[in-house]
A and B are shown apart, each in its own frame.
Chain A
Amino acid sequence: MTVATALGYGDLPGLLTLQTGDEKHDPSSHSTLDALWVLYDRVLNVDPESPEDPERDRFLLSKGHGPTAYYAVLAAKGFIPAEWLPQFGAFDSPLGYHPDGRLLPGVEIGSGSLGHGLPIALGVALALEHTVSAAPRVICLVGDAELEEGSNWEAVQLAGRLRTGRLTVVVIDNASSTYGWPGGVERRFELEGWSAVRVDGRDHDALERAFAAGDGTRPHAVVAEVVP
């Protein structure tokens, strides 16, 4: 489990303020914040002291847009120093408007262009069958509008057919997809052979239960609904 630091969930608004200078941090403006916190506080087996541990869980932020919540959680959990946050977006800062995995400890990939993280995550999950004796999870965060990119569905289809049980996707559903997903996006995952649950994306206990709900024999989707 993630190594605890002195900083907790209540410190995240202050860490966000360091990046933006904006003291009004309505949770709805940070749709990923609670899911990210639950992942790093309760779910992921990651350690800032050994971010390259081969047996760590892999977390891939595919929805690289608006990464301030990600950076705040990484700082709270000790992966990056909070002192980096005020330089967000600066030329000599490792913290950009889209994260770069080669510049940041504990960050698996660079993202920003939508629809890339999930295919990479499937490759990581399949490689782990051959490279690591333990059973790390691979969790990829996408947005509901990001799922408009067809490349995601290439990965969803194949992961379902291959029953890639170590792969979990969390979909942050803030209804930002222009044309929506009639009947709920989770139905698309289920049709492709995944297990899927929809939860309140601000309810930490519900999120934790949802991440634990996969049975490991097929990929699992957690649709985290947040009020736009």
Chain B
Amino acid sequence: MSTMRKRFYDVVAELLEADPCVAVVLAEIGAGELRPHPRLFNVGIREQLMIGLAGGLALEGLRPFVHSYAPFLVERPFEQVKLDLGHQDVGAALVSTGASYDSARSGRTHQAPADVALLRALPGWTIDVPGHPDEVERLVRAAAGRRDNVYIRLSEETNARAIQTDGLHVVRRGSDSAPVVVAVGPTLDETTKAVRDLDATIAYVTRVRPFDAAGLRAVARGTDVVLVEPYLAGTSAAEVGAALRDRPHRLLALGVANEELRRYGTGPEHRAAHGLDARGLRASITEFLPAPRLAA
């Protein structure tokens, strides 16, 4: 089990005890990791009900955390997410595990690279893609105190250190004309390796909706932007375009390819296959930049 997932179980178990509004809704996944509690509802393998029931809990003022693998949390009950939460004007915190290819050995059925793209198509969602278990803890605690819809995407992939930020955080600043490389969540360490000797500004983002447009505008002094996302490539391209709509700019949007890979194996193997390891990222970035310069 990933450390992010373990941290989520630990924190949500604590919240169940401490906050009488917090409820947890599961569809078997995770049920073995949490002790029984009056406000923990394991609905069995019934994912449509998982979301609908959470909507009912929220209508009565509870704050449901709903948790499963991303395909079963977002894709299978997508209409319930749209209607039983959004249309009813109530909120839940959806916390997924599995990410794009953590369960590579399980095949396509357990992979959800389009989860963020799907949720971004619905109004009002806050979408967090943490890169470290400590970030997960802060986001889960914050989500307990909110009443709107929040998606927290856990992953086996983690960065070496946590960066606690809701906006765009500058990790390293390049020259004024340097490209801005925006790394989302667990892509930061590989991205940093990929551009370690290049003149580039590296920015880190965990909150991809709402996207920190002002932060990007402040840091983007040149024309070139590279976006590195651990899910479907281009998911946040429109946000970058909107942020820089009045400035000439070029965007390279990297992420998981839309084509089905039809491979098993490991997460790192899939990361490499999608060009999201340091080597793949460097190849894409140096090809994109007209004349990559070394850092001073």
Q: Which residues of A contact B (CB under 8 A)?
A: 100-102, 108-110, 113, 115-116, 118-132, 150-151, 154-155, 157-158
> B52 and A151: CB pair below 8 A?
yes
**Secondary structure of the A contact surface, majority rule:** helix
**Secondary structure of the B contact surface, majority rule:** helix
19 sampled A-B residue pairs with Cβ under 8 A = A101-B88, A110-B83, A110-B88, A116-B52, A119-B48, A120-B55, A120-B56, A121-B56, A122-B49, A123-B60, A125-B56, A126-B41, A127-B56, A132-B60, A151-B80, A154-B43, A154-B48, A157-B44, A158-B43
Which are the 8 A-B pairs with shortest beta-carbon distances? A123-B56, A119-B52, A127-B60, A154-B49, A123-B53, A154-B46, A124-B56, A151-B48
Instruction: Tell whether A110 pairs with B44 under 8 Å between CB atoms, given A119-B56, A120-B53, A123-B59.
Output: no
Residues of A within 8 A of B88 (CB): 101-102, 109-110, 120
A122 to B56, CA, bound (A): 7
With both beta carbons as reference points, the residue of chain A lying nearest to B20 in the complex is identified as A130
Residues of A within 8 A of B84 (CB): 116, 119-120
Q: Which residues of B contact A (CB under 8 A)?
A: 20, 23, 38-39, 41, 43-44, 46, 48-49, 51-62, 79-80, 83-84, 87-89
Residues of A within 8 A of B48 (CB): 115, 119, 150-151, 154
Residues of A within 8 A of B55 (CB): 119-120, 123
> B61 and A131: CB pair below 8 A?
yes
With both beta carbons as reference points, the residue of chain A lying nearest to B82 in the complex is identified as A113
A150 to B53, CA, bound (A): 15
Residues of A within 8 A of B52 (CB): 116, 118-120, 122-123, 151, 155
Candidates A108, A110, A131; contact of B87 at CB < 8 Å:
A110
> A102 and B89: CB pair below 8 A?
yes
With both beta carbons as reference points, the residue of chain B lying nearest to A122 in the complex is identified as B53
Residues of B within 8 A of A102 (CB): 88-89
Candidates A100, A119, A128, A157; contact of B53 at CB < 8 Å:
A119
Instruction: Tell whether A155 pairs with B79 under 8 Å between CB atoms, given A123-B57, A124-B56.
Output: no
Candidates A116, A126, A128, A157; contact of B46 at CB < 8 Å:
A157
With both beta carbons as reference points, the residue of chain A lying nearest to B45 in the complex is identified as A154
Distance from A105 Cβ to chain B, minimum over Cβ atoms (Å): 14
With both beta carbons as reference points, the residue of chain A lying nearest to B60 in the complex is identified as A127
> A126 and B53: CB pair below 8 A?
yes
A128 to B84, CA, bound (A): 18
Residues of B within 8 A of A108 (CB): 59
> B59 and A109: CB pair below 8 A?
yes
Residues of B within 8 A of A113 (CB): 79, 83
Residues of B within 8 A of A123 (CB): 52-60
Distance from B58 Cβ to chain A, minimum over Cβ atoms (Å): 8
A1 to B54, CA, bound (A): 29
Candidates A116, A120, A130, A151; contact of B39 at CB < 8 Å:
A130
A85 to B49, CA, bound (A): 34
Distance from A60 Cβ to chain B, minimum over Cβ atoms (Å): 9
Distance from B227 Cβ to chain A, minimum over Cβ atoms (Å): 35
Residues of B within 8 A of A101 (CB): 88-89
B41, B58, B62, B87 pick with most chain A CB within 10 angstroms:
B87
A130 to B56, CA, bound (A): 13
Apart from A127-B56, A131-B62, list 17 A-B contacts with CB within 8 A: A102-B89, A109-B59, A110-B83, A119-B49, A119-B53, A123-B52, A123-B56, A123-B57, A124-B59, A125-B56, A127-B23, A127-B59, A130-B20, A130-B38, A131-B60, A151-B52, A158-B49
Residues of A within 8 A of B79 (CB): 113, 116
B23, B53, B57 pick with most chain A CB within 10 angstroms:
B53
With both beta carbons as reference points, the residue of chain A lying nearest to B38 in the complex is identified as A130
Distance from B173 Cβ to chain A, minimum over Cβ atoms (Å): 46
> A158 and B80: CB pair below 8 A?
no
> A119 and B41: CB pair below 8 A?
no
With both beta carbons as reference points, the residue of chain B lying nearest to A132 in the complex is identified as B60
Residues of B within 8 A of A158 (CB): 43-44, 46, 49, 53
Distance from A96 Cβ to chain B, minimum over Cβ atoms (Å): 12
With both beta carbons as reference points, the residue of chain B lying nearest to A100 in the complex is identified as B87
A86 to B59, CA, bound (A): 30
B23, B44, B46, B56 pick with most chain A CB within 10 angstroms:
B56
> A119 and B61: CB pair below 8 A?
no
Distance from B19 Cβ to chain A, minimum over Cβ atoms (Å): 12
Distance from A182 Cβ to chain B, minimum over Cβ atoms (Å): 24
Residues of A within 8 A of B59 (CB): 108-109, 120, 123-124, 127
Residues of A within 8 A of B49 (CB): 119, 122, 151, 154-155, 158
A45 to B88, CA, bound (A): 22
Distance from B37 Cβ to chain A, minimum over Cβ atoms (Å): 11
Residues of A within 8 A of B53 (CB): 119-120, 122-123, 126, 155, 158
